[in-house]
Structure 1
Amino acid sequence: MNVTLGAHDINKKENTQQVIPVLQAIRHENFNTETFTNDVMLLKLKYKAQLHAYVDTIALPHSEDWGDAGGPLVCNNVSQGMVSYGHVDGKPPQVFTRISSFVPWIKRTIKQFEHR
């Protein structure tokens, strides 16, 4: 699994893109495949992204410490939601997972996996 950062169109190679292999995918321990509750996963990358105008971190709600891993719903430069599912073409409705509900899990999981 790879993560593509800094892409405007993932179907085209752009100078701003970074493709980074995923070292470890960490799914929420209470994810339910039938109801999709706790539909959140953290991806530990093989190496750090190079930050620039097209790749940057974003604050989580009530947190200034961590970057965002994907498709955010942003309000006042804080990621409030991440895409859970929706139409492939991006047309409404899009369903977002409320990040603030998972901040304790995110912090606990990152701390746990930092030492591995």
Structure 2
Amino acid sequence: MQLLLLLLAFLLPSRAGAGEIIGGREARPHSHPYMAFLLTETPRGPSTCGGFLVREDFVMTAARCLGSPMRVILGAHNIRRRERTQQRISVLRAITHPGYNQQNNLNDIMLLQLENRARRNRFVRPVDLPQSMARLCAGAVCTVAGWGLVSLNRRTDTLRDVRLRVQRDQECNGRFDVYNGRRQICVGDKRQSSTTFRGDTGGPLVCNNVAQGIVSYGSVFGTPPAVFTRVARFLPWINRTMRRFQQRDQTETPLL
């Protein structure tokens, strides 16, 4: 079943919305050791998403990537190859934010507890989260990485990355009716072609080695800016959730 899911995920279209890198370049192999590639079964069929390792037993992604079953690939550069650096781990449980709204994509964040802890090495390593709820300033230059569409109809097998600039909230307020600057980040200069697109929803926006955002949604035409979930806003929920499920699993066996 897992092999069939893997094969089908590459044959069918990626999840709609923001996601892959347009205007980026192939990343130096394993330069983003926190990156995760997600294979998911949804009511509409197999789908793929991005994500990122935040602790040896937890991956963070977008709530809109929810499906069952789910499988995570860590340590990958080329997702079509069985690289020796890869760790493939099933998801024990998916925890979406209780306030996630499918209609406007608010609170688009999810934690995936892994069935087995990832082995930390130079190919697989968690990324830091913000230390406070302080806002990320407009003008900050950050990195986004992902697999999937590099144009409206062309995929890539290898991880790509791009540097994008954080924009003022007004740039997204005028473009997306449901944008919320307290919970979301506006990213990508509309005067440039670089942006995220289909195929990597759930990937991280990394600024100074800290995961500040999660790819959420953007233009269906792949033009910037795009909207990212603001990770800092959810720190209390993130810390509480990882602590709660770790403690629970020390005292009881989960029902699968």
TM range (shorter): 0.7 to 0.9
Tell me the secondary structure at the aligned position of residue 101 of structure 1: helix
Higher-Rg member (1/2): 2
Q: Structure 1 residues 43, 91: CA separation in 2 closer, same or farther (over 3 Å shift)?
A: farther
Q: How many residues align?
A: 108
Change in CA separation of 1:77 and 1:29 when aligned onto 2, cut-off 3 Å: same
Structure 2 residue 145 is matched with structure 1 residue 76: no
- 8 Å CA contact 2:76, 2:85 repeated in 1: yes
Instruction: Check if 1:111 corresponds to 2:243.
Output: yes
Alpha-carbon distance in structure 2 between the residues aligned to 1:85 and 1:7: 24
Over the aligned positions, Cα root-mean-square deviation in angstroms equals: 2.1
What's the CA shift string for 1:18-52, capped at 9, x where partnerless? 11000000011111111111111000001110111
Which residue matches 1:17? 86
Is there any run of 5+ residues in structure 1 with no aligned partner, and where? 64-69
1:17 offset after TM fit, Å?
Answer: 0.8
SS in 1 for 2:236: helix
- How far residue 71 of structure 1 moved from its aligned partner, in angstroms, is 2.2
Q: Deviations over 1:69-111 (max 9, x none)?
A: x622111111111222458xx9855432111011111011112
Whole-Å separation in 2 of the counterparts to 1:99 and 1:77: 14
Residue identity in the other structure for 1:108: R
User: Structure 2 stretches of 5 or more lacking a match?
Assistant: 1-69, 133-201, 249-256
RCO (CA 8 Å, sep 6+): is it higher in 1 or 2? 2
Amino acid paired to 2:214: M
User: Normalised by the size of structure 1, how large is the TM-score?
Assistant: 0.82
Q: Does the 8 A contact of 2:105 with 2:216 survive in 1?
A: no
Runs of 4+ in 1 over 4 A off after TM superposition: 90-94
Report the counterpart of residue 67 of structure 1 in structure 2: none
